[in-house]
């Protein structure tokens, strides 16, 4: 069963950026999270930066999309998709 792959990659205005894509299955060393019928796959390297992060969907007049609340981020970019750890 597939799921949403969430990770961290270099780039963005703050040095690291979040990456998301659909994946058909987890990889061998992935951490797998399941909640509310959704599966999330996180590779071990990204998990170091994402441990404790919550991912929510927000729909307001100003924004529509996923919002990361990352306790490991020392600084966030205004766009919400880039951070410094």
How far are the Cα atoms of 12, 65, 83 from residue 79, in angstroms, in the given order? 10, 12, 10
Element holding 76 (H helix, E strand): strand 75-76
Using DSSP's 3-state secondary structure scheme, residue 85 falls into: coil
Kindly report the pTM of this predicted structure: 0.82
Nearest of 45, 42, 52 to residue 20 by alpha carbon: 42
Domains of the chain and CATH, by start: 3-74 (2.60.300.12)
Q: In angstroms, rounded to a whole number, what is the distance separating the alpha carbons of residues 40 and 17?
A: 17
Q: pLDDT tens digits, residue range 8-60? A: 998 777 788 999 999 999 999 999 999 989 999 999 999 999 999 998 888 98
Q: What is the CA radius of gyration of the chain?
A: 13
* pLDDT of amino acid 80: 64
Query: Which tokens is 62 given?
Result: 């100003």
């Amino acid at each position: 069963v597939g799921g949403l792959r969430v990770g961290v990659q270099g780039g963005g205005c703050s040095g690291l950026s979040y990456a998301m894509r659909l994946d058909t299955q987890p990889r061998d060393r992935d951490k797998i999270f399941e909640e509310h019928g959704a599966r999330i796959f996180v590779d071990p390297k990204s998990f170091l930066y994402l441990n404790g992060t919550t991912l929510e969907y927000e729909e307001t007049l100003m924004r529509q999309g996923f919002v990361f609340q990352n306790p490991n981020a020392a600084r966030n970019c205004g766009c919400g998709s880039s951070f410094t750890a």
